[in-house]
Amino acid sequence: DIQLTQSPSFLSASVGDRVTITCRASQDISSFLAWYQQKPGKAPKLLIYAASTFQSGVPSRFSGSGSGTEFTLTISSLQPEDFATYYCQQLNSYPLTFGGGTKVEIK
Amino acid sequence: EVQLVESGGGLVQPGGSLRLSCAASGFSFSDHYMDWVRQAPGKGLEWVGRIRNKVNSYTTEYAASVKGRFTISRDDSKNSLYLQMNSLKTEDTAVYYCARGSGLWFDPWGQGTLVTVSS
């Protein structure tokens, strides 16, 4: 199984900060990586797929990069509505797997 | 509007069974793969399984943790997805989400339905 390791698992940041979340895969997954945002009590929401392609409607302050085994999600200027938990997911091979999540909280 | 609505969750005893449903609307359901994902209380996301579309013979994939106990099916005539859960364990307690899947993403997700396995 492909393991996804997200770091950090928790981060405290202020509105306007630049935030970077890393997702490392235990083996090469090419660009078969997606990022999701989840707010408390809500379903996850797709942000980015194929490592760097925006889902329609996602603000441009979100960006994704990487390929192979190392990926990043960057929020260029954190907004109040961005405080949430973020998950990466690999779709390269079965079983499909998610990272452990990164909780972004207000400093 | 593309929408998925789960139902069928509830309290069940260990060893029991439950069937979840997911009603789809706003898109061509029969064309798409569909997935189930669960989230235990306070924990992360765990993929449960997938059912492909008719073109791909409705074949299925499962996580090891549920293989042999859970069965995913679909009824394209009713735009509905199902998850039959047997031999339930306390560790199956979670919110269960259905999601429209593809080779690149899960989108959208339903609002989830809570399954509690407890005596």
CA distance B57 to B30: 11
Contact A49 B104 (CB under 8 A): yes
Identify the pLDDT of residue B58: 97
With beta carbons less than 8 A apart as the criterion, state whether B19 and B84 touch: yes
Task: Locate A2 and state its tokens.
Answer: 């492909």
- Flag if A98 and B104 touch (Cβ within 8 Å): no
What distance in Å separates the CA atoms of residue B36 and residue B48, rounded to the nearest whole number?
5
Fill in the amino acid letter for B94. Answer: A
The span from the CA of B23 to the CA of B99, in Å, is: 11
DSSP, residue by residue, A11-27:
EEE-TT--EEEEEEESS
Residues of B in contact with A96 (CB under 8 A): 35, 47, 50
Hey, what amino acid is at B44?
G
Among A residues 44-63, those touching chain B with beta carbons less than 8 Å apart: 44-46, 49-50, 53, 55
Which residue in B35, B30, B59, B58 sits closest to B47, CA to CA?
Answer: B35
pLDDT at B17: 98
Is the pLDDT at B99 greater than 90, yes or no? yes
Query: What pLDDT shows up at residue B5?
Result: 98
Strand ranges (DSSP E) for A8-101?
10-13, 19-25, 33-38, 45-49, 53-54, 62-67, 70-75, 85-90, 97-98
Confidence (pLDDT) at B54: 95
Q: Over chain B, what is the mean pLDDT?
A: 98
Residue A106 has what pLDDT? Answer: 87
Provide the 3-class DSSP secondary structure of residue A95. Answer: coil
Closest CA to A82 of A4, A34, A19: A19
- Calculate mean pLDDT across residues B75-96: 98
CA B9/CA B25 separation, integer angstroms: 20
Per-residue pLDDT tens over the stretch B4-55: 999 999 999 999 999 999 999 999 999 999 999 999 999 999 999 999 999 9
Which structure tokens are listed for A85? 């938990």
List of E strands, B1-119: 3-7, 10-12, 18-25, 33-39, 45-51, 60-62, 70-75, 80-85, 94-101, 106-109, 113-117
- Residues in chain B whose beta carbon is closer than 8 A to a beta carbon of chain A? 35, 37, 44-47, 50, 61-64, 97, 103-112
pLDDT beneath 70: ranges in chain A: none
- A residues 14..33 contacting B (CB < 8 A): 32
